[in-house]
């Protein structure tokens, strides 16, 4: 069965960096676009970024462009989110999610989600 397991969250000081990972299993990871979505505790969902199935393209929500980098290692079936210059407002649960499309066809909606990893930015 499809499984997505995030890790790497924790408490980090403002201005520091953190890298999140999402280990995928139960499907051919290299065939699917992947996304990061975040949720401030008690609030709604916010899309962060997408990466193509082969890593050839990445797109970000404007507010995170330049600070966050999405990447993937298809040989390790793992998705990453490098977060730099973290701010208090980046405190959230970060979910990885699989795009419902296949290969080059991205559908920009999500059929499987991980359980999320909590990032707390605080001094």
Partner 1 sequence: QSVLTQPPSVSGAPGQRVTISCTGSSSNIGAGYDVHWYQQLPGTAPKLLIYGNNNRPSGVPDRFSGSKSGTSASLAITGLQAEDEADYYCQSYDNSLSGFVVFGGGTKLTVL
Q: Which stretch binds partner 1 (CB under 8 A): 15-23, 38-46, 69-77, 78-86?
A: 38-46
Those residues with Cβ within 8 angstroms of residue 49's Cβ, 6 or more apart along the chain or in another chain: 35, 36, 58, 59, 60, 61, 64, 68, 70, 81
CB 34 within 8 A of CB 50: yes
Told to check if 62 binds partner 1 by CB under 8 A, we report yes
Centre a 10 Å sphere on the Cβ of residue 89 and count the other Cβ atoms it contains.
Answer: 10
Number of residues counted as binding partner 1 (CB under 8 A): 22
Q: Which is nearer to partner 1, 15 or 117 (CB)?
A: 117
Among 1, 13, 44, 75, binds partner 1 (CB under 8 A): 44
Among 9, 23, 46, 69, binds partner 1 (CB under 8 A): 46
Told to check if 41 binds partner 1 by CB under 8 A, we report no
Structure tokens belonging to residue 4:
């997505």
Distance between CA atoms of residues 9 and 62, nearest Å = 22
Told to check if 95 binds partner 1 by CB under 8 A, we report yes
81 DSSP β-pair partners: 20, 70
Q: Which is nearer to partner 1, 27 or 59 (CB)?
A: 59
Name the residues that contact partner 1, by CB under 8 A.
35, 37, 44-47, 50, 59, 61-62, 95, 100, 107-116
């Amino acid at each position: 069965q499809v499984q997505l397991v995030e890790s790497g969250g924790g408490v980090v000081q403002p201005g520091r960096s953190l890298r999140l990972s999402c280990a995928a299993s139960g499907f051919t990871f290299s065939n699917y676009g992947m996304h990061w979505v975040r949720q401030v505790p008690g609030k709604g969902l916010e899309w962060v970024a997408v990466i193509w199935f082969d890593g050839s393209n990445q797109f970000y929500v404007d507010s995170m462009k330049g600070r966050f980098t999405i990447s993937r290692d298809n040989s390790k079936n793992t998705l990453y989110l490098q977060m730099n210059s973290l701010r208090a407002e980046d405190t959230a649960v970060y979910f990885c999610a699989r795009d419902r499309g296949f290969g080059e066809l991205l559908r920009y909606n999500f059929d499987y989600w991980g359980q999320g990893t909590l990032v707390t930015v605080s001094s």
